[in-house]
Amino acid sequence: MTEEKTLTTESTAITPVEAPVRPEDKIPFKEKLAYGAMDIFGGGQGSMLSLLLMYFFTSVVGVDPGFAGTAVLVAKIWDAIIDPTFGIITDNTRTKLGRRRPYIIAGGALIIPAMLFLFAPIQGFGEVAKSVWVCIAYLVYCSVSSLSQVPFNSMSSDISPDHRERNKANLIKLLFDLGSAGLCFLLPNLLLSALKNGSIDYTTFYLTLCLGFGGLFSLPLVFGACVVKERSPYDVDHREKLNIKEYFGTIKVKSFYLHLIMYVCAYIAMDVISAVALYYCENILAGMEIFGLDMGNNSIVVIGPFMVCAALAVPLAYHNMRKRSKQFAYRFTIPGFILAVIVMVSVQPDWSPWIVIADMVLMGFFFGGSQVMPWLIFPDTVDVVELKKGDRPSGSMGAVMTFCRTITTAVASASVGWVLAGANYIEHTADQIVTQPDSVATALRIFIGVMVGVLFVTAFIASCSYKVTDKKLSRIRYFNDKARAGELDTLNLAEQVERDMLITELCGK
């Protein structure tokens, strides 16, 4: 063992850890901005639908919450089925635009039609017709979303083979993601409040939501896909086949399955909180007033501080990443987030509204790191998988990530509808006023507390086991370059030992 450590130290000196970025690996700042803006759709539509969709189905269109949850589950299962197909297709695509960009352009162009279908004015339809419509419309929307998002997620690894350049580009991307998520939490909420209080009619709500936000989502994707380059090398002669066993084989790589756990747990927890936010305000905060506003009917005063503080927390997460590691920056946020959720589910009607606001500030502050870091970690994990397998299946890995999140989010989102149905939630349309039974508030408290607690404890444990660092990535880059050039047989004994040790530590058996 002593000899192995000595050999590893000697080989590390061959290639400096802080070697300068190669000119061909550099990403111009304008291109980084264009790449970041492409994630306006990813962050925006995710937060908008998490906040709005279930409430829209049950309390605007008037669909039974149990069926609404099942409709979301069916569409998400379909989404999960087609994601692997899109991943394989993009990995096998060879065009002048690259492997990913043609599909991003097509998906971006179809966003507005898909949203017009999803939020169509069907309140006057019968119960069965409404139920069938929302199921099909959401299935179509999920397909359009996957068409652009599977290849876009894969691009986080493809834009540069240098991990430092990827970190910078993906940080800009995540700032756009969080900014878009904040806007698309707040503005649709204002639209919905205006619809509920009669300030606007449904036609205005519908066209503003679909054309305004659809355009905001669509244009950056189409433009960005035209200008952002794919720099990471790949074998142009290699073709993947849709072999399910091999496709999910990357999950066996230790670093990848740990990364999946961190990613899925953090985002599902946020999806759950987003999905119940409007129900939470209406059934737990109703009657609390701040600045003369009823917090039950004006959820923006609750959501606003949360989203602003989430964006402000990103620089701290980046600082922790630079000083320690990405996984430390990730788990640093978890204890505070869990504490904030405990306060959230404990709120009583006679509490000061300022406690709620302070809690949302705390939750938002600890939200940033857990959402930012998984996407900064993803390209690093692709490098590790390439070290193990000899090829760079970033499209497949991106699709596996989307698949795992889609399946688990589908169950979590459907659970919201099922919990509400079990608590005897009364579905209604936007022009009706109903009083929900106390069982709804109780069910929401239990559901949020249990789900978030279990998810984040699991994520914390996974982050402690993820061992990829910037120093190791520099050596992985060196070995991957050697493998692509067919020069692994030129490695000296120290380098062979080091490579084997990296594979064992980061990939497992």
Domain ranges of the chain: 29-229+245-468, 469-509
* Structure-block tokens of residue 88: 């394989």
Residue keyed to tokens 């409430």:
55
Please tell me whether residue 297 adopts helix, strand or coil conformation. Answer: coil
Contact 378, 156 (CB under 8 A): yes
pTM of this structure: 0.69
Cα–Cα–Cα angle for 237, 238, 240, nearest 5°? 145
Q: Which of 81, 95, 11, 121 is nearest to 244 (CA)?
A: 81
Query: Which amino acid belongs to residue 64?
Result: D
Other C-beta atoms lying within 10 Å of the C-beta of residue 484? 17
Please state, in angstroms and rounded to a whole number, the distance separating the CA atoms of residues 409 and 449: 17
Type and span of the H or E element at 294: strand 293-294
Q: Is residue 393 classed exposed, middle or buried when 0-12, 13-18 and 19+ CB atoms within 10 A define those classes?
A: buried
Q: What is the reported pLDDT for 131?
A: 86
Confidence band for 370, pLDDT divided at 50, 70 and 90: confident
pLDDT at 197: 77
Specify whether the CB–CB gap between 225 and 105 falls below 8 A: yes
Rounded Cα gap, residues 499 and 7, in angstroms:
11
> What residues contact 64, with CB distance under 8 A and at least 6 apart?
58, 127, 131, 421, 427
Distance of CA 221 to the CA centre of its chain: 16
pLDDT digits (tens, 9 = 90+) for 262-288: 998 888 888 788 778 888 888 898 888
Which of 83, 235, 212 is closest to 152 using CA atoms? Answer: 83
* Residue 435: per-residue pLDDT: 81
Mean of all residue pLDDT scores within the chain: 84
Q: 410-463 pLDDT, tens per residue?
A: 777 788 888 888 898 887 776 667 788 889 999 999 999 998 899 989 999 999
Chain segment 116-162, per-residue pLDDT in tens: 999 999 988 888 898 889 989 999 998 999 899 888 988 877 888 88
Q: Per CATH, is 29-229+245-468 categorized as 3.40.50.80?
A: no
> Longest C-alpha distance within the chain, in Å?
77
Q: Does the pLDDT value for residue 34 go beyond 70?
A: yes
Helix, strand, coil tally for the chain in percent (to 5): 75, 0, 20
β-partners of residue 293 are 290
